[in-house]
């Protein structure tokens, strides 16, 4: 077989038949679109968001169904920015088909997506996006069994300077000063207290200490 060579400097065609340019289609997005259509998603979505739009003021916005489809694309493909979502939807023939846009139509740009996001409250996003995920799970198109929990350790109400003894209600600073006086240091400095605290074993027991206003707070070891 002879090697094909890419031609350079070729003249672009003046006319292109749009009917002959069709994407093979993405199996998942085609299945998802069929699912949304059968569930009456667009009508339900417009009814859910109607309270946040004017009846006859200004030009019509992009349909809410299109906006939320773009968010679904960003969620499924791990795209976190509005610019990235708009670019991905514009450059893909399969995603144009999913959004309902022909070749001679431009999908919404990032500024339109941003304005729509600011118009709709968080509650509307949670309601519509939750409904899409429910449909995906019910149909078997999307499933998951892993639960992720944010385990970031932050200084909170259980900070050592704010906890008190469970038995006496004594603060941590006063407790250290009492230990220093018992060991023979009459006027302990901050350095003396810190040195004494470092040498003391099991100094952060949740059985002995608590926060006076947050009983569920717990002491943990920072990395």
Residues 6+ apart with CB under 8 A from 97: 23, 25, 29, 30, 33
Alpha-carbon dihedral 97, 101, 102, 108, rounded to 10 degrees: -130
Predicted local confidence at residue 127, as pLDDT: 92
- Give the single-character DSSP code of 184: T
What pLDDT band is residue 105 in, cutting at 50, 70 and 90? confident
**Centroid of chain to Cα 147:** 14
d(CA 151, CA 145): 19
The string of pLDDT tens digits covering residues 142-197 is: 776 666 666 666 655 446 667 887 778 788 778 778 777 777 777 777 777 777 77
Under 8 Å between Cβ of 12 and 125: no
Q: What is residue 54's predicted lDDT score, i.e. its pLDDT? A: 81
Q: What residues contact 116, with CB distance under 8 A and at least 6 apart? A: 61, 62, 64, 67, 108
| pLDDT, tens digit, 9 for 90 and up, residues 111-148 | 999 999 988 999 999 999 888 888 888 888 777 666 66
Give the pLDDT of residue 86: 95
Q: What single-letter DSSP state applies at residue 207?
A: T
């Amino acid at each position: 077989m002879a090697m094909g060579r890419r031609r350079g400097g070729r003249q672009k065609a003046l006319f292109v038949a749009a009917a002959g340019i069709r994407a093979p289609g993405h199996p998942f997005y085609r299945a998802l679109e069929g699912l949304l259509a059968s569930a009456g998603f667009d009508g339900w979505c417009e009814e859910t968001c109607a309270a946040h739009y004017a009846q006859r003021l200004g030009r019509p916005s992009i349909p809410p169904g299109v906006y939320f489809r773009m968010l679904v694309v960003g969620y499924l493909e791990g795209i976190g920015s509005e610019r990235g979502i708009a670019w991905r939807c514009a450059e893909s023939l399969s995603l144009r088909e999913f959004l309902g846009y022909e070749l001679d139509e431009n999908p919404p740009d990032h500024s339109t997506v941003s304005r729509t996001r600011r118009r709709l409250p968080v509650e509307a996003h949670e309601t519509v996006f939750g409904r899409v995920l429910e449909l995906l799970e019910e149909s078997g198109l999307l499933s998951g069994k892993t639960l992720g929990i944010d385990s970031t350790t932050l200084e909170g109400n259980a900070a050592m300077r704010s906890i008190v003894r469970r038995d006496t209600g004594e603060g941590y600073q006063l407790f250290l000063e009492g230990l220093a006086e018992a060991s023979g240091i009459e006027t302990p400095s901050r350095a003396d207290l810190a040195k004494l605290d470092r040498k003391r074993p099991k100094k952060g027991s949740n059985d002995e200490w608590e926060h006076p206003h947050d009983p569920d707070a717990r002491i943990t070891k920072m990395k």
